[in-house]
């Protein structure tokens, strides 16, 4: 096989074979840009090496050929005594990948060629410094010697000479240092520093191959979901020197500003320096404008290369360059990394310059970038006192007083204070506190814990699973492991839901202009915008969102349980409600009505309990339907297990036992305990909930459907256009749905007859059990629509308790690469996703045109949205805050 490609042979589309760096070097060479001659050793060679543990035989031969061609082209020999050719060896995988061996410079220098370099450069100091650098880099990266040995020797030398900076060391000191470095190599690697230039080259190449499998590289690939079997390419490139005096230098430039996205070139330049000097920060960098004054010819050539590259790649490029004695060389280019703001601005700038189409512009931005632009952020410059770091559950930045319970959260928020609700974990009772607080911090629970899911739904900042916290809600104190202070309601903390950081004290927060745009529209956002950068950003976001709306096939609905949520969702562009979780309408003080229903001993008591609930539930629906007027609203009948409405078994048992002992026991308590015991389940999430509860608790379906129907009639009477859809949760068998449906339709018919309005609302079900997905063809016979509940479907497909696993063993699973990301966050395509696809196909095979949606958390996850588009769903439903992200991603999926 062909293992070696001259730069002049490849092109930018060969990233698999030549790696990113190699493919781009080849492309620049093809474009006629000044790239120092060289060649790329392919990823095939690396894979062969990794498989066999040795370098393939043909590689040595092919390297010789390529090297001789380069030597002939330049009229110089690798490591020759006179005018030696020197090369750099750099790794370059398909994806940029820190953690591997990066670079060895100055290969070819040895005890004799160093004098040859001194002669051609006319600078002995430079030559010996280059040799010194080679041994240091080679020792560290090829021979695995601890870098400290070299830097200690360097420091000692500077001290001995009474100087403080590297470049103040003279020739004599450097020749001494070279000898000392060689001794270090001998001592720690057990070999002499190789004097044979070709041996240096071959050893460096092999070291790059080997570095593919370092621990750091593995960890990085796991995190970034880069396959472990790609291998890396190796680039061998003629050395050019930026440290050959005042007419030399090195720099990095960008064709547009990668941090703000402002158009116009941008870059840094260092006179008389090599790349690593930039990192060492030993001299001040100059701007490109300064370079124009210093060396107009090189500057002009660089500008024209930048323009050429940007036109060619049709995107922002970054470029590494070196000027050697007035001659410009390009050493690397790539499509440049950029901030979220820059991504949006650059995309629309390129459209305006007619370099790309609007469709392409959509592919240049992501939902994650949009999310970043939506959250208020901490001003990173202030002094911050980090208390702990935990799971970033819902992004944003929140600052406030520590509060430990609902009452205090609500009271202090009403008094105008900003508060952070700090709990060991939250439960549905904490809702008012969460609404009132600026942010939520919990000591336990993962990304799908109650706190996390609810906070994300509300767009509220949340950090969860902060194990270092010791929350004492009774005493209203908060301690942090390893810290002295005891925090109380008088203390202020700041939580960053994007990084998971928790700080003590105030941290300044800056508002997001993109959020202003999404909430209040373009005009207001432009008005509020501070400067031209912000205005351009807001306009870019607006244009791309509009285009996404135009091209997407997926509808975007929202999960909303309250009129407030529904309003937020509409402002952000939701086309309906895909999931209204009606159990949320039974919490708080309404809980006791549900308890009465559960405890009802006879028909009479039950009817009274139901009658008390009806007006409450109906009132909610009237408001929701009014808010959603003319848009579909999927009402899901009650889902959670009964225990959520009943007292805790252990607590109640203890209480009853104590009271019995004291002789103060109320018989009602005892009765309650019996009921709690009867309904107690070891696995409530797999127990009496959803359709199972609806079918076995008399009157429940009738109550809920009647509330919807009467609310709809009320809206119709007022001239409204209510579009409710009734959805049955946790269906596993068609018979369950059939019974539920018959009972629902009977109520609809009843209310129709009572009021004279025709109420033929669709009745459908959630698909959130594997059995439902697999038998979707039979279930579809009874369903007007399906909505995939991927939270429960993930839970039941993997057998992962959604309330526990993320804070117990997921960390290890992620580290071990069982999955790259939690399946509760991004849909697991092979397993859960496969069931969704199967369910969709089977459902439609029985009922063509069956409406299909998804309403699990995944409906707002950028990657999952692409998947749902591909398998043909009609809509995604997500929390109101994520609606804009879903619109953008649905657009991206469609182009």
Residue 792 as a binder of Mg ion (CB under 5 A): the answer is yes
Q: Which of the listed partners (Mg ion, ligand PEP, none) does 837 bind, with a CB threshold of 5 to 8 Å by partner kind? A: none
| Total chain residues near Mg ion (CB under 5 A) | 3
* Binding residues among 135-174 for ligand PEP as defined by CB under 6 A: none
Q: What mask of x and - would describe binding to ligand PEP in positions 201 to 230, judged by CB under 6 A?
A: ------------------------------
Residue 835 is given by DSSP the state H
**What does the block give as tokens for 711?**
């609310």
Q: Are strands 103-107 and 38-41 parallel, antiparallel or unpaired?
A: unpaired
Q: Which does 581 bind (CB under 5 to 8 A by kind): Mg ion, ligand PEP, none?
A: ligand PEP
Nearer CB in complex with ligand PEP: 41/638: 638
Q: Are the C-beta atoms of residues 530 and 511 closer than 8 Å to each other?
A: no
Nearer to ligand PEP, 166 or 425 (CB): 425
| Shortest reach from residue 678's CB to ligand PEP, in Å | 24
Residue nearest to Mg ion (CB): 792
Work out whether 639 is an interface residue with ligand PEP (CB under 6 A).
Answer: yes
- Min separation Cβ 450 and ligand PEP, Å: 11
Question: Interacting stretch for ligand PEP, rule CB under 6 A, among 10-18, 427-435, 783-791, 887-895?
Answer: 783-791
Out of Mg ion, ligand PEP, none, which partner does residue 856 contact, by CB within 5 to 8 A per kind?
ligand PEP
Residue 243 and residue 246: Cα distance in Å, rounded?
8
CB atoms within 10 A of CB 769: 22
3-class DSSP state for residue 25?
A: helix
Q: Which does 736 bind (CB under 5 to 8 A by kind): ligand PEP, Mg ion, none?
A: none
Residue with the two structure tokens 């950068």: 533
| DSSP codes, 97-126 | -BTB--EEEEET--TTHHHHHHHHHT-HHH
79 DSSP assignment? T
**Least spacing, CB of residue 639 vs ligand PEP, in Å:** 6
Closest CB to ligand PEP among 257 and 768?
A: 768
Nearer to ligand PEP among residue 417 and residue 803 (C-beta): 803
Query: Between 42 and 790, whose beta carbon lies closer to ligand PEP?
Result: 790
Q: Is 123 in the site for Mg ion (CB under 5 A)?
A: no
Near Mg ion by CB under 5 A, which window of 82-90, 428-436, 790-798, 838-846? 790-798
Which residues ranging from 361 to 390 are in contact with ligand PEP (CB under 6 A)? Answer: none
Q: Counting beta carbons within 10 angstroms of the beta carbon of residue 830, is it exposed (0 to 12), middle (13 to 18) or buried (19 or more)?
A: exposed
Which string of x and - marks every residue 721-760 that binds ligand PEP (by CB under 6 A)?
----------------------------------------
| Token representation of residue 26 | 């080849």
Cα 103 to Cα 242: distance, rounded to the nearest angstrom: 16
> Among 384, 581, 741, 892, which residue interacts with ligand PEP (rule: CB under 6 A)?
581
CB of 794 to ligand PEP, least distance (A): 8
CA torsion 656-659-660-666 (nearest 10°) is -80
450 catalytic, yes or no? yes
Residue 68's nearest CA partner among 213, 158, 201 is 201
Among 450, 542, 568, 858, the active-site one is 450
On whether the CB atoms of residues 39 and 181 are closer than 8 A, the answer is no
Question: Which 745-774 residues touch Mg ion, going by CB under 5 A?
Answer: 768
Question: Helix, strand, or coil here: 581?
Answer: strand
CB nearer ligand PEP, residue 515 or residue 765: 765
Shortest distance, position 584 Cβ to ligand PEP, whole Å: 10
Q: Which is nearer to Mg ion, 145 or 765 (CB)?
A: 765
> Residue 268: which H helix or E strand, with range?
strand 263-271
Q: How far is the CB of 792 from ligand PEP (least distance, A)?
A: 3
Phi, psi (deg, nearest 5) at residue 419: -130, 150
Residue 384 CA to residue 382 CA, distance in Å, equals 6
Binding residues for ligand PEP restricted to 784-803, rule: CB under 6 A: 789-792
Query: Smaller CB distance to Mg ion: residue 570 or 766?
Result: 766
CB atoms within 10 A of CB 45: 27
CB of 859 to ligand PEP, least distance (A): 8
Among 201, 319, 693, 855, binds ligand PEP (CB under 6 A): 855
d(C-alpha 723, C-alpha 744), whole Å = 16
Question: Residues 56, 197: contact at Cβ < 8 Å?
Answer: no
Among 856, 860, 880, 884, binds ligand PEP (CB under 6 A): 856
Task: Give the DSSP H or E segment for 41.
Answer: strand 38-41
- Position among 768, 782, 784, 828 found at the interface with ligand PEP (CB under 6 A): 768
The continuous run of DSSP H or E covering 18 comes out as: helix 15-30
State in angstroms the smallest separation of the CB of 729 from ligand PEP: 7
Identified catalytic residue from 542, 855, 858, 878: 855
Query: 434 CB contacts (<8 Å, ≥6 apart)?
Result: 409, 421, 426, 440, 451, 454, 455, 458, 460
Q: Which does 561 bind (CB under 5 to 8 A by kind): Mg ion, ligand PEP, none?
A: none
Task: Report how far residue 809's alpha carbon sits from residue 819's, in angstroms, rounded to the nearest whole number.
Answer: 12
Task: Count CB neighbours of 551 within 10 A.
Answer: 15
Of 430 and 792, which has the nearer Cβ to Mg ion?
Answer: 792
Q: Name the burial class of residue 857, with classes exposed (0-12), middle (13-18) and buried (19+) by CB atoms within 10 angstroms of its CB.
A: buried
184: part of which helix (H) or strand (E)?
helix 171-189
**Which CB sits closer to Mg ion, 113 or 795?**
795
Going 774 to 776 to 778 to 782, the CA torsion angle's sign is positive
Of residues 336 and 856, the one with the C-beta less far from ligand PEP: 856
As measured in angstroms, the least distance from the Cβ of 789 to Mg ion is 4
Name the H helices within 628-729: 649-662, 667-679, 691-696, 700-717
Residue located via tokens 């080997």: 210
3-state class of 783 per DSSP?
A: coil
State in angstroms the smallest separation of the CB of 533 from ligand PEP. 39
Compute the least distance from the CB of residue 883 to ligand PEP, in Å. Answer: 16
Write out the residues near ligand PEP by the rule CB under 6 A.
579, 581, 639, 768, 789-792, 855-856
Q: Which residues are catalytic?
A: 450, 855
Write out the residues near Mg ion by the rule CB under 5 A.
768, 789, 792
């Amino acid at each position: 096989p062909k293992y070696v490609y001259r730069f002049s042979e490849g092109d930018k589309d060969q990233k698999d074979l030549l790696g990113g760096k190699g493919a781009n070097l080849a492309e620049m060479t093809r474009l006629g840009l000044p790239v120092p001659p060289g060649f790329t050793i392919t990823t095939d060679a690396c894979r062969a090496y990794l498989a066999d543990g040795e370098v393939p035989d043909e590689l040595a031969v092919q390297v010789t050929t390529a090297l001789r061609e380069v030597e002939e082209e330049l009229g110089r020999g690798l490591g020759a005594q006179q005018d030696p050719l020197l090369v750099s060896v750099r790794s370059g995988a398909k994806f940029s990948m820190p953690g591997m061996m990066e670079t060895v410079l100055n290969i070819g220098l040895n005890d004799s060629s160093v004098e040859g370099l001194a002669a051609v450069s006319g600078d002995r100091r430079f030559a010996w410094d280059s040799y010194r650098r080679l041994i240091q880099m080679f020792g560290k990266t090829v021979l695995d010697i601890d870098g400290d040995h070299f830097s200690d020797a360097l420091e000692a030398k500077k001290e001995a000479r009474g100087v403080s900076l590297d470049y103040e060391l003279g020739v004599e000191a450097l020749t001494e240092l070279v000898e000392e470095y060689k001794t270090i190599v001998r001592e720690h690697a057990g070999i002499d520093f190789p004097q044979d230039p070709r041996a240096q080259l071959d050893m460096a190449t092999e070291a790059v191959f080997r570095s593919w499998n370092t621990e750091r590289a593995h960890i990085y690939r796991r995190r970034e979901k880069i396959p472990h079997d790609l291998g890396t390419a190796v680039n061998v490139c003629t050395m050019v020197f930026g440290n050959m005096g005042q007419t030399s230098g090195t720099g990095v430039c960008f064709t547009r500003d990668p941090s703000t996205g402002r158009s116009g070139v941008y870059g840094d330049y260092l006179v008389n320096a090599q790349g690593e000097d930039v990192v060492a920060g030993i001299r001040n960098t100059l701007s490109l404008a300064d370079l124009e004054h210093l060396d107009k010819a090189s500057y002009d050539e660089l500008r024209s290369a930048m323009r050429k590259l940007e036109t060619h790649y049709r995107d922002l490029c970054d470029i590494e360059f070196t000027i050697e004695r007035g001659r410009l060389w390009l050493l690397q280019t790539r499509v440049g990394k950029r901030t979220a703001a820059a991504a949006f601005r650059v995309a629309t700038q390129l459209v305006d310059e007619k370099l790309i189409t609007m469709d392409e512009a959509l592919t240049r931005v992501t939902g994650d970038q949009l999310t970043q632009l939506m959250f208020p952020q901490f001003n990173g410059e202030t002094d911050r006192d980090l208390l702990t770091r935990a799971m970033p559950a819902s992004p944003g930045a929140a600052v406030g007083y520590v509060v430990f319970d609902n009452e205090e959260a609500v009271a202090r928020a009403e008094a105008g204070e900003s508060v952070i609700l700090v709990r060991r974990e939250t439960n549905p009772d904490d809702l008012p506190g969460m609404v009132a607080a600026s942010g939520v911090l919990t000591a336990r629970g993962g990304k799908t814990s109650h706190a996390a899911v609810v906070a994300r739904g509300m767009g509220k900042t949340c950090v969860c699973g902060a194990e270092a916290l010791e929350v004492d809600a009774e005493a209203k104190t908060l301690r942090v492991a390893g810290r002295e202070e005891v925090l109380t309601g008088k203390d202020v903390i700041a939580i960053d839901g994007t990084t998971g950081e928790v700080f003590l004290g105030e941290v300044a927060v800056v508002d997001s202009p993109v959020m202003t745009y999404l909430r209040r529209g373009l005009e207001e956002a432009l008005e509020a915008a501070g400067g031209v950068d912000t205005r351009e950003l807001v306009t870019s976001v607006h244009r791309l969102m509009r285009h996404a709306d135009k091209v997407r096939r997926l509808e975007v609905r929202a999960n909303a349980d309250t009129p407030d949520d529904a309003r937020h969702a509409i402002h952000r562009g939701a086309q309906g409600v895909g999931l209204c979780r009606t159990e949320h309408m039974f919490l708080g003080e309404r809980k006791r009505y549900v308890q009465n229903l559960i405890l009802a001993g006879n028909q009479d008591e039950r009817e009274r309990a139901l009658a008390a609930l009806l007006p409450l539930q109906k009132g909610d629906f009237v408001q929701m339907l009014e808010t959603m007027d003319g848009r579909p609203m999927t009402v899901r009948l009650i889902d959670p297990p009964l225990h959520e409405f009943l007292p805790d078994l252990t607590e109640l048992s203890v209480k009853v036992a104590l009271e019995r002992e004291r002789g103060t026991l109320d018989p009602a308590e005892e009765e309650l305990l019996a009921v709690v015991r009867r309904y107690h389940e070891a696995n409530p999430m797999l127990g009496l909930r959803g359709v199972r509860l609806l079918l076995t608790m008399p009157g429940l379906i009738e109550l809920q459907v009647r509330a919807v129907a009467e609310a709809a009639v009320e809206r119709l009477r007022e001239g409204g256009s209510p579009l409710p859809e009734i959805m049955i949760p946790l269906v596993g068998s068609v018979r369950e749905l059939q019974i539920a449906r018959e009972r629902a339709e009977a109520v609809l018919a009843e209310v129709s007859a009572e009021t004279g309005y025709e109420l033929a609302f669709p009745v459908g079900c959630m698909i959130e059990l594997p059995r439902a997905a697999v038998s979707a063809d039979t279930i579809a016979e009874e369903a007007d629509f399906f909505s995939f509940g991927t939270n429960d479907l993930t839970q039941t497909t993997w057998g992962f308790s959604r309330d526990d696993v993320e804070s117990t063993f997921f960390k290890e699973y992620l580290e071990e690469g069982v999955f790259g990301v939690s399946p509760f966050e991004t849909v697991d395509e092979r397993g859960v996703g496969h069931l969704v696809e199967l369910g969709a196909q089977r459902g439609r095979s029985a009922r063509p045109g069956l409406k299909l949606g998804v309403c699990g958390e995944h409906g707002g996850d950028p990657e999952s949205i692409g998947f749902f588009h591909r398998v043909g769903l009609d809509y995604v439903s997500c929390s109101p805050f994520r609606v804009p992200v879903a619109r953008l991603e649905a657009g991206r999926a469609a182009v």
